[in-house]
Structure 1
Amino acid sequence: MSLRTALIRLGIVAAGSALVVGAVGPAAANDDWGQNNGSHHSGSHQRLYKGVVTAPGGLNLRDRPTRSSAIIGFVGHGEQVSIFCKVSGENVKGNNLWYLLADGTWAWATARFIDNIGPAPSWC
């Protein structure tokens, strides 16, 4: 496993842990969590961004930010997704950004086929 892959996986685990810890903390009860223009709520949580899938046939979700990695899920055209953060990855039709999605399963999707709803996601 390359150092970059190891660091990405470590980041995913850390991000997932932060969300789990945040979900059981007292701040999770606040209805406006994550809706404050990208700033951190109570200084401890990262906002989840939103997007909509634009790929006509839907979008494969992958275990790494490359088209050659394993497919671990699928999102249909027009579906809304929650985006945790973005990274540079394999170029897909002129766009090298990939989003880490947080919709029950942590998975990567090319940003080429996701339109942001509101502000663009922050870097991982």
Structure 2
Amino acid sequence: MQAVIDILSWIFIIGGSFFAIVGAVGLVRFPDFWSRLHAVSVTDSAGVILLIVGMALQAGLTLVTVKLLLILAFLFITGPTSTHAVANAALVSGLKPRSSVDRDDADAATQDDKAGPT
């Protein structure tokens, strides 16, 4: 039974690490603030949940598990709330999300740049 719990906990820990790494790559690779914010917020929530569940399985039924679950509840509530607050502050300060028209214009400019001088 302990082997099954160890395997499950490592699956959760590796899955959480994967989401954390994907979020970090998304932070570096995405082009604008809004897509970066989305990538980090979603992967951060998923990564933290999986990591804490994996650690709770490793700890067993102890006081450490209770503390981990309290941390999980706190992060589950504050993560999306803080992301919303940052997005709202950016929107109020004048940073507008790109519309599909803006993306089409940027794509057309990129295609013109790749075509070279005519």
Structure 2-normalised TM-score? 0.35
Q: Which has the higher helix share?
A: 2
Q: Which has the higher strand share?
A: 1
Structure 1-normalised TM-score? 0.34
Q: Greater Rg, structure 1 or structure 2?
A: 2
Higher relative contact order (CA 8 A, sep 6+): 2
